[in-house]
A and B are shown apart, each in its own frame.
Chain A
Amino acid sequence: MTETSTDRPFVVLDPTAGPAAAGMTAAARPDSLEGKTVGLLDISKPRGDIFLSQLQQDLESRGAVVRTYRKPTFAKPAPVDLRQEIATQCDAVIEALAD
């Protein structure tokens, strides 16, 4: 009466949350940064600001408009509002990790 591995077909319940979501495609890449708005997201890791300020200079020298953002803590996902703000205000975003 016991269930054994020789019982066929062997059926189990799917332990996952289901098939993975269909792959997401990346947003179209801008041909040039001239006149485009680029967001720089500092995730609050030490020295991320140094890296990003260097990037800001480089981007501005190429004619991009730079806006800067900061996550409250690197240890948590960016708040939804912040993500929404970046998505609506910027053509591209660069997120910096640093230590």
Chain B
Amino acid sequence: MTIPESTGHTADGVSESTNGVIAVVKRDCPTCELVVPALTQLHAHLESQGSTLTVYTQDDPTFPSFGASPVDDTQLAFSWHNNIETVPTLLRFENGVEVDRIVGWSREQWQSFTGVADLAAELPEHRPGCGSLSVDPALTDMLAVRFNQSSLHSRRVEFASLEDEFEAMFDRGWSDGLPVIPPTEARVLHMLSGTTRDPQEIVASIPPDLNEVTVEQIAVNAVMAGAKPEYLPVILAAVEAACTDEFNMHGLLATTFFSGPIIIVNGPIAERIGMNGEGNAFGQGNRANLTIGRALQLVIRNLGGGRPGEIDMAAQGSPGKLAFCFAEREYDSPFEPLAQWRGQEPGVSSVTLFAGQGPSAIIDQLSREPVSLTKSMAASLRATNHPKLAIGFDAMLVVSPEHGRIFTEAGWDRQRLLSELEKLLTLNADEMIRGVDGIAEGLPEMLAGHSVPKFRPGGLLIAHAGGNAGLFSSVLGGWVGGGTGSEPVTVAIGS
């Protein structure tokens, strides 16, 4: 009772000689189980008329038992090519052309469709069908690849049969030193489901090679980083921000200094995709934080050509250059969100990129009011990079919740804290001149007699993150700030 093989036979199981009624079912569907007597009766009826009933089965090739052998559609070729969305579906073909179809179980519809007036009179009048496996969201990307429906443009790389795919990716230089997820077509298609953007849209020109890259190419690297599709819009925004002239990713990459791109995420998306702005925000354990940060670095490595020892000439580097991304803890922050401070509308999800190093600690377990705490913070900030250097390099102060509460209770907002820090960090250059204290490093002689700000105007950023306990904040030392180096960049996250 199967469709006869012929030279006109096609991958979808339909040929010019396809005629009669076709049913598509799966065992894992109570309605399909229910209609087995109807299929049995229909099979006997059609056979007596010289016609055929063909039953395609999606999950169990032995199902259903209806008087003939079902056709194995566990590869879902028939279901996919004939756009089956519901099981059971009944289709009628005339000379290879579908002329009619019904879905689910309705006794009246089935009777009228088949012309069998007493068809399954004992069955209930109506039962809705179940979802076809060919439209199961977990399978559709793989099926698109299987049936060559993928529109991806990337070059396909086939590994040799004896190659271990993880080793093969290390061997090809695609890894940051940790294993990467193999970017199969199905996984990349699944990743692309996380954005509404056209896969072929150009996102940015990636330094150092200045290759113009597409959403699809970034998605490939996002898969490798271990990201989920819902992270992709954040990754795309981070790539856009990194590749602006202001952020100067090329210089940041090439420098002998420690710094790399740090991504701070604000807005509702952070919670929606499960980012961490609380305990261990800079550390391990959160997939979104780590894979978003890692994806940006893989994009720079693989699509920009920025590899350590080549364009990346860091003397010592930083573990943060694997991935450094965290959410700001907004809900109990003494400050308005960082992105809003930097001009974003409230409630707009966005990324802020800051060229920075790893965290260094500010311990203050004794201050209970803001003046003392701010002095502690200023003393630690003064030592950033070198206590005798000033102006050139930016920094980010990340205030922990236990320190933040002290500012909240005193009514200090970000502007107040920044103003107080600015006063405390206006330094007497005479103490910092080259040679002073027997230290050759320091400010040039020409600044003697002047006072100097530790940070250029706008060169100190403040954010709020961390766990509930711990009277510790941190300094993320920056890099050369402003037009001569890197300017922090905030970009809204699209869809």
Interface residues of B in 15-73 (CB under 8 A from A): none
Complex: chain A residue closest to B206, CB-CB: A17
What per-residue 1/0 map shows which CB atoms of B158-197 lie under 8 Å from chain A? 1101010100010000100000001111101000000000
Is the beta-carbon distance between A12 and B250 smaller than 8 angstroms? no
Given contacts A3-B142, A17-B303, A75-B485, contact A11 B174 (CB under 8 A): no
| Residues on B with beta carbons closer than 8 Å to the beta carbon of A12 | 156-157, 159, 165, 169, 182-184
Give chain A nearest CB distance to B418 CB in angstroms.
25
Q: Identify whether the interface residues of A are mostly helix, strand, loop, or mixed.
A: loop
Q: Is A27 an interface residue, CB under 8 A from the partner?
A: no
Q: In this assembly, does A16 line the interface, its C-beta being within 8 Å of a C-beta of chain B?
A: yes
Task: Kindly supply a per-residue 1/0 record for chain B positions 230-273, scoring 1 wherever the CB is within 8 Å of any chain A CB and 0 otherwise.
Answer: 00000000000000000010110001000000000000000000
B211 within 8 A of A: yes
**B213 close to A (CB within 8 Å):** yes
Bitwise interface map of B from 292 to 310 toward A, beta carbon under 8 Å scored 1, else 0: 0000001000111100000
B residues near A16, Cβ cutoff 8 Å: 174, 302-303
Is A5 interfacial (CB 8 A cutoff)? yes
How many residues belonging to A are interface residues under a CB distance threshold of 8 Å?
20
CB pair B159–A13 under 8 Å, yes or no, is no
Whether B185 contacts A13 by the Cβ 8 Å rule is: yes
Bound Cα distance from A3 to B156, whole angstroms: 17
Residue pair B484, A11 in contact (C-beta under 8 Å): no
CB <8 Å contact, B157 and A11: yes
* CB-based nearest B residue for A17: B211
Given contacts A13-B154, A17-B302, A17-B305, contact A77 B250 (CB under 8 A): yes
Q: Which residues in B have some Cβ–Cβ distance to A below 8 Å?
A: 74, 133, 139, 142, 152, 154-159, 161, 163, 165, 169, 174, 182-186, 188, 206, 209, 211, 213, 217, 220-221, 224, 248, 250-251, 255, 298, 302-305, 479-480, 483-486
Could you name 8 residue pairs across A and B whose Cβ atoms are closer than 8 Å?
A3-B142, A10-B165, A10-B182, A11-B157, A12-B156, A15-B298, A16-B303, A77-B250
Other 14 A-B pairs with CB < 8 A, given A12-B157, A73-B483: A10-B163, A11-B156, A11-B184, A13-B152, A15-B183, A15-B217, A17-B217, A17-B304, A17-B305, A20-B305, A72-B484, A75-B251, A75-B479, A75-B485
Chain A interfacial positions (CB closer than 8 Å to B): 1, 3, 5, 8-18, 20, 72-73, 75-77
